[in-house]
């Protein structure tokens, strides 16, 4: 296991390095300058400012400089937020994004498991049908539409929760619900299918024959076995929620990281683009690694060893 892990971590770092390199050069191919006031500056004025920021150096040299600094944990300072360190910018914005992301994820997955299980147990009844419709809606209605609807009715009309803004648990509820829709729908569909499968298998019949209660069967046998494959879905879902939160963050005016990313690209804020890209890709590869490890732990049949690999 240790050898396997070491190998995976090595590949993880290699992946990150490649992503950083490709992003760096792609980013430099974008037209324009990071200067906000570009429209009013002449070429020579831009040149003078470039010299101060080291942007007049050849791109490969800028690349080497950046990589050396990044390896030392220095991700540079933002152009847009003058003198603001990228690590600080990202650090102060990841909290809100993570809060609504995790809350949305947990809410969606937990509700999804419950709904999916009930659907499977009450297969082909009105309960199943209703759950089905809700999940289809959850998948097909984009999170931003849901966000706007929630904001308008719950925030503005009923005034139960803040319309937008950040501060306190109340302000995280609507965005979390908006984000929960897609993981909820996916999880519930997935669990239903799995559980219908499991409930039809021989060992469930055996448990029934032994006289185990219906709830007992569902808890002890069906649910646990149908959750195993869910792990593979939750990983990518978590990543999708990270990127999907940009729009929701914007609508609820949350000081999150998604919006920062879009803005940094539009304004050629090179150090910020790099910082956020690395954060996103780092999280993605980490989630995938964790998924593999957890999968190995909960399902002994597919535990991977370093041998022969």
Binding site for other proteins (CB under 8 A): 30-33, 35-45, 48-49, 51-53, 77, 80-84, 88-89, 92-93, 110, 114, 148, 151-152, 155-156, 159-166, 168-170, 173, 219, 250-255, 259-260, 266, 268
Helix (H, G, I), strand (E, B) or coil at 18: helix
Is residue 195 packed enough to be buried (19+ CB in 10 Å), middle (13-18) or exposed (0-12)? buried
Angle at which helices 270-298 and 86-121 cross, to 10°: 40
Q: Give whichever of 15 and 38 is closer to other proteins, judged by the CB atom.
A: 38
CA distances from 257 to 66, 164, 266 (A): 21, 16, 15
The label of the residue with tokens 């809350």 reads 103
Q: Give whichever of 161 and 286 is closer to other proteins, judged by the CB atom.
A: 161
Long-range contacts of 299-304 (CB under 8 A, 24+ apart): 299/228, 304/4
Q: Considering all CA atoms of the chain, what is the largest pairwise distance in Å, rounded to the nearest integer?
A: 86
Q: Give whichever of 45 and 125 is closer to other proteins, judged by the CB atom.
A: 45
Closest separation in Å from C-beta 28 to other proteins? 13
Closest separation in Å from C-beta 162 to other proteins? 6
Q: Give whichever of 168 and 308 is closer to other proteins, judged by the CB atom.
A: 168
Q: Give whichever of 8 and 28 is closer to other proteins, judged by the CB atom.
A: 28
Closest separation in Å from C-beta 1 to other proteins? 29
Closest separation in Å from C-beta 4 to other proteins? 32
Closest separation in Å from C-beta 280 to other proteins? 18
Instruction: Please give the Cα distance from 83 to 273 (Å, whole number).
Output: 16
């Amino acid at each position: 296991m240790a050898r396997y892990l070491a190998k995976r971590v090595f590949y993880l770092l290699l992946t990150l390095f490649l992503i950083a390199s490709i992003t760096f050069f792609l980013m430099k191919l974008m037209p324009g300058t990071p200067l906000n006031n570009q429209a009013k500056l002449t070429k020579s004025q831009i040149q003078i400012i470039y010299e101060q920021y080291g942007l007049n150096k050849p791109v490969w040299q800028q690349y080497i400089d950046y990589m050396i600094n990044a390896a030392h944990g220095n991700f540079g300072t933002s152009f847009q937020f003058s003198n603001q360190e990228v690590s600080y910018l990202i650090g102060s914005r990841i909290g809100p994004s993570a809060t609504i992301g995790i809350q949305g994820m947990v809410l969606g997955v937990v509700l999804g498991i419950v709904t999916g299980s009930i659907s499977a147990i009450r297969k082909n009844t009105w309960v199943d049908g209703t759950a089905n419709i809700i999940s289809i809606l959850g998948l097909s209605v984009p999170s931003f539409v849901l966000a706007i609807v929630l904001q308008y009715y719950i925030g503005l009309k009923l005034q139960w929760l803040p319309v937008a803004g950040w501060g306190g648990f109340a302000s995280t509820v609507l965005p979390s619900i908006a984000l929960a829709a897609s993981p909820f729908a996916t999880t519930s569909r997935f669990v239903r299918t799995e559980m219908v499968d499991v409930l039809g298998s021989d060992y469930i019949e055996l448990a029934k024959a032994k006289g185990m209660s219906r709830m007992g069967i569902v808890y002890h046998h069906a649910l646990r076995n149908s959750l195993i494959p869910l792990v593979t879905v939750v990983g990518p879902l978590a990543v999708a929620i990270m990127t999907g939160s940009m729009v929701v963050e914007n609508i609820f005016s949350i000081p999150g990281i998604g919006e920062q990313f879009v803005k940094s690209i539009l304004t050629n804020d090179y150090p910020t683009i790099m910082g956020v890209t690395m954060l996103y890709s780092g999280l993605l590869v980490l989630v995938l690694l964790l998924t593999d490890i957890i999968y190995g732990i909960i399902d002994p049949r597919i535990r991977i060893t370093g041998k022969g690999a």
